[in-house]
Amino acid sequence: SPVIVGVSESAIRYMGIKMAAGMVKTLAEAVPISVGLHLDHGKKMETIKEAVKNGFTSVMIDASDRPFEENVKITKKVVEIAHSAGVSVEAELGKLPGPEDDISIEEREAFLVNPEEAEKFVDQTGIDFLAPAIGTSHGAFKFKAKSKLDFERLRLVKEKTQVPLVLHGASSVNKKLLGAAEKYGLELSGARGLCSEVLKKAIKKGINKVNTDTDLRIAFTAGIRSVLLQEPSVFDPRKIMGPAMDFMKDVVK
């Protein structure tokens, strides 16, 4: 199936946008599937412009921390720039604090997407994809207890917007993956992600794209640790990185 490779602003600062785009484009030419190159959580207009210039197929503008009207204004500008080059635009509405934040249910409710605002936002901006906050968060510690999403809110957003929806923070942080990582010394006590049953239900209820990062980071780290701990005499980076990539491939599959 097609795959979308997401590149964050921090990754761009680390390796450079030309390097990131060049690597993905080169690798994409070697596989028989469609590969999209996406800017994830773009905050700076200059980064978004550079992504469009360097062949990204889609960009995300994340102004979800701004007041609604300002979010609309910023997002509309990005849509103008991106659409003029045939590049799709994703935007975020609503925001969810981490599970460790000590806030009330009413306060947490205020961070989730408002379906009526979502309808206005899509109509006023002309975005191609919407990332609505419906209960997940980034990182390995998404929930204090069992994972839970607001499916009724998701249903209303889908009904009112009729655009493809994106679920951020979709890593499962499942026991098998955690067990493999912890076996080789990674400490993630209390880590909890989005269980597969909830994720499958979200897709059935209207989610079209899921973003997974944490699971890949854990897998990569587990692969590296497995070599360093089991084969302490190995110092060839290729022999260390190989298993790390294999661990990541298993997660993707």
Amino acid at 106: E
61 backbone dihedrals φ, ψ, rounded to 5°: -105, 120
CB contact at 8 A, 30 and 237: no
Token representation of residue 78: 């990005």
**Residue 214 CB partners (closer than 8 Å, separation 6+):** 138, 139, 140, 171, 173, 193
Cβ neighbours, 10 Å, residue 252 = 10
With tokens 């079209």, the residue in question is 208
Q: Check 40, 65, 213, 250 and give the catalytic one.
A: 40
Burial of residue 116 (number of CB atoms within 10 Å: 0-12, 13-18, 19+): exposed
Question: Could you write out the DSSP letters of every residue in 76-99?
Answer: HHHHHHHHTTT-EEEEEES----T
Concatenating the DSSP letter of every residue in 185-237 gives T---TT-B---HHHHHHHHHTTEEEE---HHHHHHHHHHHHHHHHH-TT---H
65 tagged catalytic: no
Phi, psi of 209 (to 5 degrees): -140, 135
Q: Give the sign of the dihedral formed by CA 21, CA 235, CA 215, CA 46.
A: negative
Catalytic sites, residue numbers: 40
